Amino acid sequence: MRIETRERRLGAALVAPALIWTVAFFVLPFAAMVWMSLAHLDGRMVVPGPDAGNYLRIFTEPSLRRGIWVSLQITAIVTVISVLLAWPLAWIIAMRVPPQWRRLALLLAVLPFWTSYVVRSYSWALVLGERGVVMNALTGIGLLSEPVQIMATRSATVIGFVHFFVMLLTLTIYANLVQLSPNYARAAEDLGASRFQVIRLVILPLTLPGVVTGAFLTFVLCIGDYITPQILGGNNELTVPQLIMLQLGRRGDYPMASALAVVLMAIVTLAYAACARWLRMDRL
């Protein structure tokens, strides 16, 4: 047998288990889900399709169409605010904090990143509640005469999300910043740029890959999350994941849940295509 052939067979044998696992438990279920999305529910019976009824309903029925709109809005707001908050934080940690404290500062800055979604959202419910720490402090120092309702509004959802994604973006932007040679900034300063110009004209453009990677992850994770809007946002306006869970729970409407999931997936794919040029998934 040729050496290359033997090598290839061995390589294939090593890849096979992981590949089989991914195909069996990811690709196939996904395909089954797409197929299911083309079926429809008749009473409690699933009638196999293919028919596009679910998709038509998603774009015509106000409650469903609104869900997509709400999800997109929240995701867009969260992504923008998170980037704006995270970039200076990452920059300060990378450039202003003394080197020996940098790892510690980064570790602290992303510590709550590692708590579960459920616990994190619950913590925000504690903080933002009518009798929570924030309202207590604001009324205590007289800034507010009486508590304002934040919990069970979109603001609570956005705050909860921003909290998480600031940490995520800080990580990706920081990773990008520390890879930059300090000589870029030195060269720019040497050529007469002010410190602000250095940041705006040199550092900022160079961190674009980190920003885009982080923003994409933010988009994907935010638009697909069920917990945060469910715990913090309540049921006043429903996001797509909440709608999916609603289909599953109340009606057992798997076809509609699947169709919503496919739409969600399509939105993510579009987002990916939009920023594919700058994405460096391998750098994470």
Partner 1 sequence: MTAEVRFDAVQHRFGSFTALHQVDLTIAAGEFIVLLGPSGCGKTTLLSILGGFLTPSAGRVLIGGRDMTHVAPKDRPTTTMFQDYALFPHMSLRDNVGFGLRMRGIGRAARNARAGEMLDMVGLADKAGRRPHELSGGQRQRVALARALAVSPDVLLLDEPLGALDLKLRRQMQEELKAIQRRVGTTFVHVTHDQEEAMAVADRIVVMNQGRIEHCGTPQEVYLRPATLFSANFMGEVNRIPVASGGATPLGPMPFGQGTLCLRPESIGLAGDLPLGPARLEEAAFFGAYLRCYFRPVAAPGMRLVAHLPQGLHLKVGDEVALFARDPVILPTESGAVA
Partner 2 sequence: MMRFLSWAYLAATFAFILLPVVVLVVFSFQDGRLPVPPFRGATLRWYGEILGNRALMAALRNSLLVASGSALVSVVLGFLAASGLARVALPGSALMRGVLIAPMTVSYLIIALGLLQMFNQVGIRPSLIATGIGHVVINLPLCFAILYAAMGEHQRNAMRAARDLGAAEWQVLWLISVPMLAPAVAAAFFLSFTFSWDEFIIAFLLTRFDVTLPVEIWSMLRSGLSPKTNAIGSLVFLVSVVMVVALELTLFRKART
Longest C-alpha distance within the chain, in Å?
A: 84
Q: Are 278 and 212 in contact (CB under 8 A)?
A: yes
CA–CA gap between residue 107 and residue 129 (Å, rounded): 28
Q: Is 4 in the site for partner 1 (CB under 8 A)?
A: yes
| C-beta of 13 vs 45, nearer to partner 1 | 13
Q: Is 223 in the site for partner 2 (CB under 8 A)?
A: yes
Q: Which residues ranging from 77 to 116 are in contact with partner 1 (CB under 8 A)?
A: none
Closest CA relative to residue 153, chosen from 62, 235, 68, 240: 235
User: Which of partner 1, partner 2, none is residue 154 near (CB under 5 to 8 Å by kind)?
Assistant: none
The residue range among 1-9, 137-145, 214-222, 257-265 that interacts with partner 1, by the rule CB under 8 A, is 1-9
Q: Which residues ranging from 38 to 77 are in contact with partner 2 (CB under 8 A)?
A: none
Q: Are 244 and 64 in contact (CB under 8 A)?
A: no
Which two tokens mark 218?
């933010």
Q: Is 8 in the site for partner 2 (CB under 8 A)?
A: yes
Q: Find the binder of partner 2 among 122, 138, 193, 278 (CB under 8 A).
A: 122
| Shortest Cβ 7–partner 1 spacing (Å) | 9
Residue 45 neighbours by CB under 8 Å, 6+ apart = none
CA–CA gap between residue 184 and residue 199 (Å, rounded): 10
The three-class DSSP label of residue 47 is strand
Rg (CA), the chain: 24
Q: Is 33 in the site for partner 2 (CB under 8 A)?
A: yes
Tokens 């996001």 found at? 239
| C-beta of 226 vs 278, nearer to partner 2 | 226
Which two tokens mark 51?
């028919």
Task: Name residue 202's amino acid.
Answer: V
Q: Find the binder of partner 2 among 131, 145, 181, 205 (CB under 8 A).
A: 131
Tell me the number of residues near partner 1 by CB under 8 A.
5
**Would you call 36 exposed, middle or buried from its count of C-beta atoms within 10 A (0-12, 13-18, 19+)?**
buried
| C-beta of 70 vs 167, nearer to partner 2 | 167
Q: Find the binder of partner 2 among 47, 56, 108, 201 (CB under 8 A).
A: 108
| C-beta of 5 vs 100, nearer to partner 1 | 5
User: Which of partner 2, partner 1, none is residue 209 near (CB under 5 to 8 Å by kind)?
Assistant: none
User: Which of partner 1, partner 2, none is residue 64 near (CB under 5 to 8 Å by kind)?
Assistant: none
To 10 degrees, what angle do helices 28-37 and 254-275 make? Answer: 120
Q: Is 8 in the site for partner 1 (CB under 8 A)?
A: no
